[in-house]
Amino acid sequence: MSQHPQIDQAVMQERRAYYDKIGTRKMTPLWEVLHALVIPQPKSACMPAIWHYADIRDDIMEAGRLITAKEAERRVLILENPGMPGQSRITTSLYAGLQLILPGEVAPAHRHTQSALRFIVEGDGAYTAVDGEKTIMHEGDFVITPSWTWHDHGNDSDRPMVWMDGLDIPLIQALDCSFMERLPEDSQPLSRPTGDALARYGSGLLPVDFEVKTPTSPVFNYPYCRTREALETMRRAEEWDPCHGLKLQYINPATGQSAMPTIGTFMQLLPKGFNGASYRSSDATVFSVVEGKGYTLVGEGETQQRFDWGKRDTFVIPSWVSHSHHAPDTDAVLFSYSDRPVQKALGLWRESRGNR
């Protein structure tokens, strides 16, 4: 508190008049906002949140009766962070949604500068076509649509399919570099057989004259059966990380970097009985439960929350919020994604274990 309120009032008045004056010349004083702009540690508008699949599945299916995939272009329910309503984002930098495609439907071909991932939540047998190749999708598959590649989806199976879309929409918005266009036809022409990319680039081999031309992985479907087998074989080594259990990152086999340039993607196994230690990192992270059940403790002290989760649930942990994973009754498998590659490329990413 000031000892000279009278003087302060006069000074404040003079300053306000000054701010108004310079405002007419499109200027504003840094000293009034500096400490809101540059804060000692992340204080995100993003809130921890969970979507239980059992609670929202009916809503997703109801969308299927209200609008076709073709009319909607993409029939998706956005998973909107409750701390950032109306902003179509699940974290400050990333978007998430659950997309429904019914038997016989087509989501027409388009392309955009935003990169997308699909993580298959329910159903088997629908396809996505990306850049001239079709892939059939199964639960737990991680599928990539690189920036500016044509993509369309269809469902030739007899069951609905639901997947989680993860896109770098808010990031592209911040950079003002969104471009988008549609193909006149619903489905793009195919130029390679199904499975070609995985055989060509995802078998520990590369074509002899292969050159890296884009930062995104040339493998665009990482099938869950392979990922799960890797986790199952590796668990025998019993090298459990106290915070993560056994956690792998998806990589671009041509560069060794993250599979997507803007979105880091991960799969982790928590063995039955796992009691994870507390962890936080500067990349807000979206989790999708692939197998099993358990819970995550989020935050500290009075405001700590417990997210009980099971298969197909989605939850989000904001930047720099401590959390610990627990799987008392079953093995559990968690897929996750975040903006980690962007933060790492800029030398910004941080993590801490325990309460350091």
Distance CA 164, CA 94 (A): 13
How much of the chain is helix, strand and coil, in % rounded to 5? 20, 30, 45
Distance CA 220, CA 242 (A): 31
If one asks whether residue 161 binds ligand 1HN (CB under 6 A), the answer comes out as no
What the block records as the tokens of 194 is: 């199904």
| Cβ atoms of 321 and 278 closer than 8 Å | no
Name 76's bridge partners.
Answer: 99
Q: Which of residues 269-308 bind ligand 1HN (CB under 6 A)?
A: none
Of 113 and 304, nearer to ligand 1HN (C-beta) is 113
If one asks whether residue 89 binds ligand 1HN (CB under 6 A), the answer comes out as no
> Per CB under 6 A, which region of 38-46, 163-171, 213-221, 299-307 contacts ligand 1HN?
163-171
Among 92, 99, 257, 288, binds ligand 1HN (CB under 6 A): 99
Of 134 and 153, nearer to ligand 1HN (C-beta) is 153
Name the CA dihedral angle for 25, 27, 32, 38, rounded to a multiple of 10 degrees: 170
Among 105, 133, 165, 331, binds ligand 1HN (CB under 6 A): 165
Element (H, E) at 128: strand 126-130
Among 46, 60, 69, 76, binds ligand 1HN (CB under 6 A): 76
Question: What's the angle, vertex CA 95, arms to CA 94 and CA 96, rounded to 5?
Answer: 130
Q: What are phi and psi of 242, to 5 degrees?
A: -60, -25
Task: Please report how close the Cβ of residue 69 comes to ligand 1HN at its closest, in angstroms.
Answer: 9
Q: Show the binding pattern over residues 166-205: x = contacts ligand 1HN (CB under 6 A), - = does not.
A: -x-x------------------------------------
Which residues of the shown chain bind ligand 1HN in the complex (CB under 6 A)? 74, 76, 97, 99, 107, 112, 116, 151, 153, 165, 167, 169
